[in-house]
């Protein structure tokens, strides 16, 4: 029996030492000798035919080495979209625009020069002859008759029309029609969720190094799924996968946006192969707004059938997911997740949701922290508050009345998923206690008399994490796996090296996995080294680094160590001349049970013997290492409830935070300090999208208006409140170690908590906040409209 010494500890981060000294190595810091720089010609139009491209003037500029256009990409493939639901039309990501451009920022040509300065000089010299076409940037207009068709092969602008049939995993089917017929009230709502994205502070970048003699490409890349990039790049370039090595530097934030495969992956690789010298491309901030995938943006319509006593009978809706000009790596995935999580923590046996993927002349919409979950939670949590208002029931009480209870797990959702464990009522009551709910409501009335508009907004959420059992992903038409692998090697001195396929992007993966390994081997954390970021050394990653998968990676480490300990016991038994059943691995030692120090060996002593190989038991091999590829048995369902307390200045529409309480449950916690950091960070992005962040396109011109950090507003120190976080621990029965993933949870309920709070603050006006971001301008307009309607 081992003592848990490292799981649950706020171990200091080993990542910090170089980073606080400015000694990190990020992609822009990598400069091999002879490196040249790439810049990309991007479409200035939302929709246009390309008649011709004249590169002669650019090529003639001193210092320019290469210009690539579509004509130079013969035999080069495009990157596929990985989520392919039945009936989905074909859509992929080409390296350069072909005969037309479909969004502002689409890559048209690539220039390589001595410096980025010269490369940018050359951009202006590439002469592209465009014929501008009609564009459409509004999600609803894109599916109207007569809208400009963006992808001719689709026939219209709908790439997929998928309906969740409301059948759970046991095959039980609901009766949506019946539920709505039986309802005492039908609450309806239409929501517009704004387009925003991860905006990591570090933009994307690549350094490609082609070795002509070895015929091998080394690509320094921030991809969150390095092995998948390797596989897809081999396919696109038409070279063997064994000829590609992906090396990962420090990543300055990713948030899902660096998960996808991008045109530049192909362009930089091709450029270095053709030039025979290293090629570097660093995305600048202006490019990033156009060229890195966007997220969210949906138009949702919901109806909730309720009884007068507050019981939810049925939920049905339609989600328009604005996919941008074409599907990117995860394509329709987030929209599917929206449909999958919409029933949330509530018992709603009758459910139906139609999801449409809509094409518009905008940057592709793909992987971003939350992955459709925040969108789904926004819809349902706003609907619950609308129902509360309609029925005259307190929003907390209404939620409590409808929660799935702690003894109802595993719960079979009508959206098809299985929730593994949870205690929703406890999370709510803990949150209510933390805000002093009764007192707050009383205070709210007093403040109202003084002209202070204070509001309380509750939002509960589930977060399907630990994505996911590979077989189930296959059933969902998602074309990669969900496993994570780890190889653990004990060296002859008894120290451990852990190889992981995970890609750290700031969340402390190295420290977390070192803690797990140290805990399971019962050795000092300083004796564990974690190796990541080299596809030549690390195990193939199924789904890679998503915020909610450290649990899967941790499980792989644990299972590999189980094998090592079993091997050590067998070898130790041999060495101690005992039967294997009489020998145990405890506290980093292999010992005969009850025999004390005389019959005991350290891990190092056993390891040394393993490498000498003189006494290896029959059936075993020399050395002491193991590889385990862990495929989760089920998705895990993290959950929680947030409560936002805000004051609204009705003269300006400005929203000020009074309090923000988080109750979060992510199963067994490996490092509490890091978990807290993840919650804060995810909340920061969730609140950013709730209040400030938005990609804005001009409907007349189709231009992207948010082209700088002065237009696209990231939350600053003074925009975010102090967070009060409380953790619950409901271990996952289906996950090794009981861990659930958690890096994304904070962003799920943020927007609806704030929206509900604002509606509550402005209840006297009957304002419904159904659009994000909730800007002061929009709040003011809502109040003015409400006043005008009375």
Partner 1 sequence: MKPSRFDYSAPTTVDEAVALISEKGPDAKILAGGQSLVPLLNFRLARPESLIDINGVDELDYVSANGSMVIGGLTRLTTLEESNSTNGLMAKALPHIGHRAIRNRGTIGGSLAHNDPAAELPAVLMVLNAEVTATSSTGERTMTVSELVGERFFETTLDDSEMITEVQVPAAGVGTRYGFAEFSRRHGDFAIAGVAIAITVTGSTVESAAIGAFGGAHAVRLVGAEAALVGCELADAAFAMAGETAAAEFPTTSDIHGDADYRRHLIGVLTQRALRESTDKEVGV
Partner 2 sequence: MSDVISFDLSVNGELRSVSAEPRKTLADVLREDLGLTGTHLGCEQGGCGACTVLLDGEVVRSCLMFGVQAQETEITTIEGIGSTGELHPMQAAFSEYHGLQCGFCTPGMILAAIDFVGRNPDPSADEIREGLNGNICRCTGYQKIVESVAAAATEMSG
The answer to whether 741 contacts partner 2 (rule: CB under 8 A) is no
Using CB under 8 A, which of 32, 676, 728, 780 touches partner 2? 676
Min separation Cβ 124 and partner 2, Å: 15
Q: How many angstroms separate the CA atoms of 265 and 220, rounded? A: 10
Neighbour count for residue 146 (Cβ, 10 Å): 8
Q: Which does 727 bind (CB under 5 to 8 A by kind): partner 1, partner 2, none?
A: none
Among 413, 545, 600, 685, binds partner 2 (CB under 8 A): 685
Which residue among 15, 120, 582, 605 contacts partner 1 (CB under 8 A)?
A: 120
The stretch near partner 2 (CB under 8 A) out of 142-150, 547-555, 601-609, 719-727 is: 719-727
Query: Residue 375 in 3-state DSSP?
Result: helix
CA 504-505-507 angle, to 5 degrees, is 80
121: contact with partner 1 by CB under 8 A: yes
241 binds partner 2 (CB under 8 A): no
- Judged by CB under 8 A, the residue of 31, 132, 442, 526 near partner 2 is 31
User: Is residue 717 within the footprint of partner 2 (CB under 8 A)?
Assistant: yes
Q: How far apart are CA 603 and CA 490, in angstroms?
A: 8
| Cβ atoms of residues 419 and 637 within 8 Å | yes
Out of 4, 446, 537, 652, name the contact with partner 1 by CB under 8 A: 652
> Is 481 an interacting residue with respect to partner 2 (CB under 8 A)?
no
Q: Tokens 């696209």 label which residue?
A: 712
Q: Binding partner 1 by CB under 8 A: which of 711, 729, 785, 787?
A: 711
Distances (CA, A) of 339 to 372, 397, 624: 8, 25, 46
Closest CB to partner 2 among residues 16, 182: 16
Q: Is 720 in the site for partner 2 (CB under 8 A)?
A: yes
Give the residues across from 92 on adjacent strands: 80
Q: What is the DSSP letter of 651?
A: T
Does position 199 interact with partner 2 (CB under 8 A)? The reply is: yes
Q: Note whether 260 binds partner 2 by CB under 8 A.
A: no
414 scored as a contact of partner 2 (CB under 8 A):
no
How many CA atoms lie less than 13 Å away from 157 in the CB half-sphere?
28
What is the C-alpha separation between 82 and 333, in angstroms, rounded? 8
205-211 and 107-113 beta bridge pairing: unpaired
**Comparing C-alpha atoms, which of 79, 299, 348 is closest to residue 189?**
299
787 near partner 1 (CB under 8 A): no
- CA 557, CA 628: separation in Å to the nearest integer? 7
Query: Which helix or strand (DSSP H or E) is residue 128 part of?
Result: strand 127-132
Among 62, 407, 439, 651, binds partner 1 (CB under 8 A): 651
Query: Distance between terminal CA atoms of the chain?
Result: 70
3-state SS, residue 24? coil
Quote the CA–CA distance of 504 and 510 in Å, as a whole number. 7
780 binds, among partner 1, partner 2, none (CB under 5 to 8 A by kind): partner 1
Asked whether 166 and 176 are in contact (CB, 8 A), the reply is: yes
- Annotate each residue in 512-551 with x if it binds partner 2 (CB under 8 A) or - if it does not, as one string: ----------------------------------------
Q: How far is 265 from 281, CA to CA, in rounded Å?
A: 10
649 forms part of the interface with partner 2 (CB under 8 A):
no
Residue 723 interacting with partner 2 (CB under 8 A): yes
Q: Do 541 and 501 touch, CB atoms closer than 8 A?
A: yes
From 102-110, 338-346, 727-735, 770-778, span contacting partner 1 (CB under 8 A): 770-778
Q: Which option in partner 1, partner 2, none does residue 28 bind, with CB closer than 5 to 8 A by kind?
A: partner 2
- What strand order describes the sheet that includes 496-500? 528-531, 496-500, 484-490, 625-630
Which window, 217-225, 607-615, 619-627, 776-784, contacts partner 1 (CB under 8 A)?
776-784
Least distance (Å) between residue 251 CB and partner 1: 21
Please check whether residue 339 is in contact with residue 164, taking contact to mean a CB–CB distance below 8 angstroms. Answer: yes
Cβ–Cβ under 8 Å, residues 762 and 782: yes
State the minimum distance, in angstroms, from the CB of residue 103 to partner 1.
Answer: 19
Q: Shortest CA distance to 533 belongs to which of 203, 205, 225, 201?
A: 225
Residue 377 found at the interface with partner 2 (CB under 8 A): no
Closer residue to partner 2 (CB): 183 or 751: 751
Least distance (Å) from partner 2 to the CB of residue 540? 24
* Helical segments of 306-420, H only: 333-341, 373-391, 395-402
Sole binder of partner 1 in the list 153, 170, 214, 710 (CB under 8 A): 710
Q: Which does 148 bind (CB under 5 to 8 A by kind): partner 2, partner 1, none?
A: none
CA distances from 763 to 275, 284, 454, 767 (A): 65, 44, 10, 6
Site for partner 2 in 486-505 (CB under 8 A): 505
Q: Is 130 in the site for partner 2 (CB under 8 A)?
A: no
x/- letters, 271..290, toward partner 1 (CB under 8 A):
-------------xxx----
Answer with the entry of partner 2, partner 1, none that 508 interacts with (C-beta below 5 to 8 A by kind).
Answer: partner 2
Q: What helix, strand, coil percent values describe the chain, rounded to 5?
A: 30, 25, 40
Count of chain residues binding partner 2 (CB under 8 A) = 57
Residues that bind partner 2 (CB under 8 A): 12-13, 15-26, 28-29, 31, 117, 198-203, 250-253, 255, 284-285, 505-508, 673-674, 676-677, 679-685, 708-710, 714, 716-718, 720, 722-723, 746
Residues that bind partner 1 (CB under 8 A): 116-117, 120-121, 284-286, 651-654, 692, 696, 705-706, 708, 710-711, 713, 715-716, 718-719, 775-777, 780-781
């Amino acid at each position: 029996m081992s003592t848990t010494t490292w799981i649950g500890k706020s171990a200091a981060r080993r990542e910090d030492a170089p980073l606080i000294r400015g000694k990190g190595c990020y992609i822009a810091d990598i400069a091999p000798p002879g490196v040249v720089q790439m810049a990309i010609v991007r479409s200035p139009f939302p929709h246009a035919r390309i008649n011709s491209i004249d590169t002669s003037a650019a090529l003639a500029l001193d210092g320019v080495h290469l210009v690539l256009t579509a004509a130079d990409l013969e035999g080069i493939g495009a990157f596929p979209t990985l989520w392919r639901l039945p009936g989905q039309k074909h859509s992929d990501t080409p390296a350069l625009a072909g005969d037309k451009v479909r969004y502002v920022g689409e890559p048209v040509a690539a220039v390589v020069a001595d410096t980025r300065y010269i490369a940018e000089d050359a951009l202006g010299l590439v002469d592209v002859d465009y014929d501008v076409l009609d564009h459409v940037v509004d999600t609803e207009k894109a599916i109207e008759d007569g809208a400009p068709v963006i992808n001719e092969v689709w026939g219209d602008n709908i790439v997929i029309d998928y309906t969740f049939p409301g059948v759970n995993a046991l095959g039980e089917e609901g009766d949506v029609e019946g539920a709505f017929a039986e309802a005492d009230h039908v609450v309806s709502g239409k929501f517009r969720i704004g387009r925003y994205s991860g905006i990591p502070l570090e933009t994307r970048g690549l350094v490609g190094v082609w070795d002509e003699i070895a015929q091998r490409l080394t690509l320094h890349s921030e991809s969150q799924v390095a092995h998948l990039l390797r596989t897809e790049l081999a396919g696109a370039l038409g070279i063997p996968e064994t000829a590609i090595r992906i090396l990962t530097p420090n990543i300055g934030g990713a948030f899902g946006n660096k998960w996808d495969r991008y045109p530049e992956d192909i362009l930089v690789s091709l450029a270095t192969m053709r030039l025979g010298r290293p090629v570097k491309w660093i995305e600048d901030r202006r490019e990033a707004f156009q060229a890195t995938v966007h997220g969210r943006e949906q138009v949702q319509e919901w109806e909730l059938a309720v009884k007068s006593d507050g019981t939810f009978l049925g939920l049905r809706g339609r989600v328009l997911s604005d996919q941008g000009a074409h599907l990117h790596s995860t394509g329709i995935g987030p929209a599917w997740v929206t449909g999958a999580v919409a029933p949330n923590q509530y018992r709603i046996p009758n459910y139906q949701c139609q999801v449409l993927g809509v094409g518009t002349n905008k940057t592709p919409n793909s992987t971003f922290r939350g992955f459709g979950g925040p969108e789904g939670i926004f819809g349902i949590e706003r609907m619950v508050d609308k129902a509360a208002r309609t029925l005259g029931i307190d929003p907390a009480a209404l939620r409590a009345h409808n929660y799935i209870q702690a003894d109802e797990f595993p719960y079979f959702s009508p959206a098809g998923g299985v929730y593994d464990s949870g205690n929703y009522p406890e999370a709510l009551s803990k949150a209510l206690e933390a805000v002093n709910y009764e007192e707050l409501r009383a205070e709210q009335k007093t403040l109202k008399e003084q002209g202070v508009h204070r509001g309380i907004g509750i939002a509960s959420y589930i977060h399907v994490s630990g994505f996911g059992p590979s077989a189930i992903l296959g059933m969902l038409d998602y074309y990669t796996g969900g496993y994570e692998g780890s190889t653990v090697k004990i060296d002859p001195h008894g120290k451990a090296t852990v190889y992981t396929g995970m890609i750290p992007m700031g969340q402390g993966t190295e420290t977390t996995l070192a803690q797990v390994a140290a805990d399971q081997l019962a050795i000092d954390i300083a004796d564990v080294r974690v190796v990541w970021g080299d596809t030549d050394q690390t195990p193939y990653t199924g789904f890679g680094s998503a915020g909610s998968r450290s649990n899967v990676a941790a499980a792989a480490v644990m299972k590999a160590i189980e094998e090592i300990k079993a091997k050590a016991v067998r070898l130790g038994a041999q060495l101690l001349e005992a039967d294997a059943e009489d020998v145990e691995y405890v506290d980093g030692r292999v010992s005969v049970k009850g025999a004390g120090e005389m019959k005991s060996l350290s891990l190092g002593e056993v390891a040394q013997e393993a490498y000498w190989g003189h006494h290896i038991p029959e059936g075993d091999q020399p050395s002491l290492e193991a590889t385990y590829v862990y495929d989760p048995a089920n998705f895990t369902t993290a959950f929680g409830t947030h409560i936002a307390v805000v004051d609204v200045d009705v003269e300006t529409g400005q929203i000020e935070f009074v309090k923000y309480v988080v109750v979060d449950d992510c199963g067994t916690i490996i490092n509490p300090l890091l978990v807290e950091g993840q919650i804060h960070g995810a909340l920061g992005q969730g609140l950013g999208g709730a209040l400030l962040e938005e990609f804005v396109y001009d409907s007349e011109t189709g231009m992207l208006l948010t082209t700088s950090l002065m237009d696209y507003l990231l939350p600053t120190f003074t925009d975010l409140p102090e967070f009060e976080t409380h953790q619950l621990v409901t271990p996952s029965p289906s996950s090794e170690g009981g861990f659930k993933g958690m890096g994304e949870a904070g962003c799920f309920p943020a927007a609806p908590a704030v929206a509900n709070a604002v509606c509550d603050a402005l209840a006297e006006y009957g304002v419904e906040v159904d659009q994000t971001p909730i800007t002061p301008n929009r709040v003011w307009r809502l109040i003015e409209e409400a006043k005008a309607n009375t």
